[in-house]
Amino acid sequence: MLKNILYSLIISLTFSGCYNLETSSDTNTTQDIPQYDQVIARLEGTASTPQEYFELANAYMEKSGLVLSDVIQDISDSAQDADSPFMAFVQSVQPSSGEYATSMEDLNKATDYEMMIIGDRCDEDENLTDFEKDVCLYKGLTQTMNVANTINSLSDDVSKIETQGDAKLQASSCAMQYAFNGVINGCSITETGPVTFEQSGATYDSIAVYSNGKEYEYLLHRDDTTHTRELIITDGYCSTDDFNTREVTLSDASYYPCPVTTKEGETPVTANNNLVDSLNEGTDAILAVSDNYEELAQTVKEFKIEISAVGDDNKVVSDTIITVDTDNANINGTDINMQDMIEYLNEQNNLAR
């Protein structure tokens, strides 16, 4: 059973002296400061060993509001859903705080620390130690959780998409498609000019998407080197001079969608890296250690098949034939691309059918 994986991991972490994800803030003795904050305060900027990086990664995972035991149970439960296991998993993942921006940033930090330990060796090195295999598993789960987090942030309520549909998700898919290849499908889009956020120094293209009688605003990141654009992941709305003005709903005409990334010099969080890259890297990391976690690996393998195999084998996009090889979609190294993700979300969303 998948839930047994967590028990074995906790036992191994206990004996190795690593941070215990199951310890709650109720056991803290330092002025009721959550243990994950204590770990971060103790090790941030001073960590130098793989074990300390692992402690920091796990602390940030718990700080994100997404508990590992719950995620493993959610994946186990989703495997019972014959229609759409991956979307069932997405619907089950909700940050305890309800703040997607903070949760996504914390999960990205957790991934960064896991990468400091393992780098790309989850995919390339067959001679991993048991500790390194656990790091690969945690990295895979962290990134898979962030994919679900991101889809939730692009939607109003993913639990309704298969019945009445989600208008915001359809608009988000339109924005992603427009950024990806300039195609407008099922909506209308107006370019509304550049927006610069003073605290981060970042400038984005702003677009208005009209879908289902509503207007939604989005930001696009322009890469001047490749001349491509990507949808920026945002959460709430804020002024261009103060990210701390972030609000859940748009109540001020001078506010804009608020980017998840708020610090100067940080790489912007886009749909490409938080959906496509995270899904590919996360599932591949888990598949790389499938000998240790066979049932979990089989489930995430099916997630990948589900997304890549939407629609007909030949899918026409902007006069380009994209062939989906459903026979080989379940092997490690077969990547999901942005078009696969857009079509999958549209297939799931009742409004887009």
User: Which portions of the chain are predicted below pLDDT 50?
Assistant: 1, 3, 7, 10-28, 312, 314-333
Give all strands of the β-sheet with 214-223 in edge-to-edge order: 188-197, 202-211, 214-223, 228-231
Give all strands of the β-sheet with 234-239 in edge-to-edge order: 242-247, 234-239, 256-259
Q: What pLDDT is recorded for position 96? A: 65
- CA 117 – CA 112 distance, rounded (Å): 9
Q: What pLDDT is recorded for position 330? A: 36
Residue 316, both tokens = 């026409």
Q: What are the start-end ranges of the H helices in the chain?
A: 2-16, 35-43, 50-63, 68-78, 85-92, 100-118, 121-124, 130-153, 167-181, 271, 278-288, 294-308, 338-348
- CA 353 – CA 348 distance, rounded (Å): 8
Q: What pLDDT is recorded for position 329? A: 38
Q: What is the DSSP string of 4-62?
A: HHHHHHHHHHHHHT---TT--GGG--STT--HHHHHHHHHTTT--SHHHHHHHHHHHHH
Produce one character per residue of 293-323: b if its CB has 16 or more CB atoms within 10 Å, e if not. Answer: beebbebbbbbbbbbbbbeeeeeeeeeeeee
Residue 127, both tokens = 């001679």
Q: What pLDDT is recorded for position 2? A: 52
Q: What pLDDT is recorded for position 319? A: 32
Per-domain boundaries in the chain:
2-159+275-295, 161-269
If one counts every other C-beta atom within 10 angstroms of the C-beta of residue 192, the result is 13
- CA 334 – CA 178 distance, rounded (Å): 24
Angle formed at CA 148 by CA 267 and CA 292, multiple of 5 degrees? 100
Residues 276-325: pLDDT tens digits?
999 999 999 998 888 878 888 888 889 999 999 875 454 433 333 333 33
CB-CB contact of 306 with 344 (8 Å)? yes
pTM, two decimals, is 0.85
Residues 102-140: pLDDT tens digits?
899 999 999 999 999 999 899 776 788 989 999 999 999
